[in-house]
């Protein structure tokens, strides 16, 4: 265990006398185990009995082997960890989403990643499957799944503001700088275009664009007139 937060304090750094020594603590079906192999090993299990140590062999310098004891929790992990590590390896190739401190986002991404990996492995082992191309990878599979899910969908954002080109010389006199009370405070459109940031509540009552009063308001509409001429 790399993170031993919440692990019994007396098992974090136990005093082992030799390889194969173990100490355990149990609370209901939760078993915490500290075991001495080449280095200390810490495991928490809900499926292992704390009793019933079994033998295992370890190599020693010189090419020989030595017989030591290991707790059931360690034996279960070492006999079955391949599947867990393999799954993590697959998931790391094409991670979904971004890291987040919100646990529900982590679980959602985890479930989606595991589902994609399982689908890919089952698909590859299904008889009669035609591989689209040579070296077809998990990432290729993810892209194909995403494209099939998206289909012909296209995101069309509702045009919030009239285009600048709709401003005409005849109608620009009817545009006024007012406080946009029905809209939240936003960046000045002209300042943003110039590489500056300034949040304002004022803007054009016709264009519904946030603009600083005065220079920015005039410059925005003069630019719009130039684009239409």
- Whether 201 and 177 have beta carbons less than 8 Å apart is answered as no
- Whether 45 and 71 have beta carbons less than 8 Å apart is answered as no
Q: What is the DSSP track for 123-139?
A: HHHSTT---SSTT--HH
Q: Of all residues in the chain, what percent are helix, strand and coil, respectively (each to 5)? A: 40, 20, 45
Residues 6+ apart with CB under 8 A from 34: 11, 12, 14, 22, 23, 24, 40, 41, 42
Report the pLDDT value the prediction gives residue 162, as an integer from 0 to 100: 47
Distance, C-alpha 180 to centroid of its chain: 38
- CA distances in angstroms from 145 to 120, 148, 151, 160, listed in the order given: 10, 5, 10, 33
At 87, is the secondary structure helix, strand, or coil? Answer: helix
Report the pLDDT value the prediction gives residue 118, as an integer from 0 to 100: 92
Task: State the pTM of this model.
Answer: 0.41
Report the pLDDT value the prediction gives residue 153, as an integer from 0 to 100: 76
Report residue 119 as tokens.
């689908």
- Whether 187 and 140 have beta carbons less than 8 Å apart is answered as no
At 203, is the secondary structure helix, strand, or coil? Answer: strand
- Neighbour count for residue 53 (Cβ, 10 Å): 17
Report the pLDDT value the prediction gives residue 17, as an integer from 0 to 100: 87
Report the pLDDT value the prediction gives residue 4, as an integer from 0 to 100: 67
Strands 186-187 and 199-200, by their bridges, are: antiparallel
- CA distances in angstroms from 115 to 48, 63, 96, 167, listed in the order given: 27, 43, 11, 52
If the chain, 229 residues long, is cut into consecutive pieces of 10 residues, what is the mean pLDDT of each piece?
72 88 90 90 88 88 88 88 80 82 88 92 88 87 88 64 56 87 90 90 90 92 79
Report the pLDDT value the prediction gives residue 172, as an integer from 0 to 100: 79
Quick one: DSSP state of residue 154? -
Whole-number Å distance between alpha carbons of 14 and 33: 11
At 10, is the secondary structure helix, strand, or coil? Answer: helix
């Amino acid at each position: 265990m790399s993170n031993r937060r919440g692990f019994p304090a007396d098992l974090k750094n136990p005093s082992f006398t030799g390889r194969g020594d173990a100490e355990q603590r149990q609370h209901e079906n939760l078993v915490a185990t500290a075991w001495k192999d080449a280095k200390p090993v810490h495991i928490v299990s809900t499926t292992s009995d704390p009793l019933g140590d079994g033998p295992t062999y370890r190599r020693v310098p010189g090419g020989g082997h030595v017989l030591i004891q290991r707790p059931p929790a360690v034996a279960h992990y070492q006999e079955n960890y391949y599947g867990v590590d393999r799954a993590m390896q697959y998931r790391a190739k094409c991670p979904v989403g971004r890291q987040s401190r919100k646990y529900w986002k982590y679980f959602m991404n985890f479930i989606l990643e595991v589902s994609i990996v399982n689908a890919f492995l089952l698909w590859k082992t299904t008889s009669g499957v035609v591989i689209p191309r040579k070296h077809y990878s998990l990432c290729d599979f993810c892209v194909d799944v995403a494209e099939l899910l998206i289909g012909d969908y296209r995101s069309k954002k509702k045009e919030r503001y009239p285009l600048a080109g709709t401003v005409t010389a005849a109608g620009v006199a009817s545009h006024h700088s007012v406080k946009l009370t029905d809209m939240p405070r936003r960046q000045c459109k002209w300042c943003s275009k110039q590489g500056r940031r300034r949040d304002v509540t004022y803007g054009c009552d016709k264009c519904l664009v946030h603009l600083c009063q005065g220079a920015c308001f005039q410059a925005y509409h003069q630019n719009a007139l130039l684009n239409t001429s």
